[in-house]
Amino acid sequence: MRLHRSPSSTEIAACKPWLREELRLIEPEVILCLGASAAQAVLGKAVKIEPIRGQIIHATASKNTIVTYHPSAILRAEIGPARQHLYDCLVQDLRLASSKLKPQSGALEPQVTGSADATELDSEP
């Protein structure tokens, strides 16, 4: 079940000046677009996630732009192989984005503390 609707093309266009200005000021090393709406806002056109996810896209906003699934898409997917696939793709894309960041002096290295699977996403602590 979907609790929130995706923004319309008109709404994305209305917010584009603010997004452009933020990106100009920040000059991000990497942009990770979580979902099709974010990808449309950054890339300037509607896209399908599957054909381009996991790739580095040289966009105007950043030479390291990555498109992946929105976390809510994983939660909406039926528990089983489909959900696991989406989860694995998101994790791969997060790692790809992380690998494109320049090391910062004094920054802590990320710690991997085991593995998870998508079935754990719905379980209560």
CATH number for position 79: 3.40.470.10
Q: What is the pLDDT of residues 1-29, one digit of tens each?
A: 556 788 888 998 899 999 999 999 999 99
Our CA angle for 114, 116, 118, nearest 5°, is 175
> How many other CB atoms are found less than 10 A from the CB of residue 17?
9
* Domain-embedded: residue 84: yes
**Is the predicted pLDDT of residue 49 greater than 80, yes or no?**
yes
**Is the predicted pLDDT of residue 120 greater than 80, yes or no?**
no
Q: Are 54 and 68 in contact (CB under 8 A)?
A: yes
* Domain-embedded: residue 115: no
Position 109 confidence tier, pLDDT thresholds 50, 70, 90: low
* Domain-embedded: residue 83: yes
* Number of separate domains in the chain: 1
* Domain-embedded: residue 75: yes
Burial of 102 (0-12, 13-18, 19+ CB in 10 A): exposed
Q: Are 97 and 32 in contact (CB under 8 A)?
A: yes
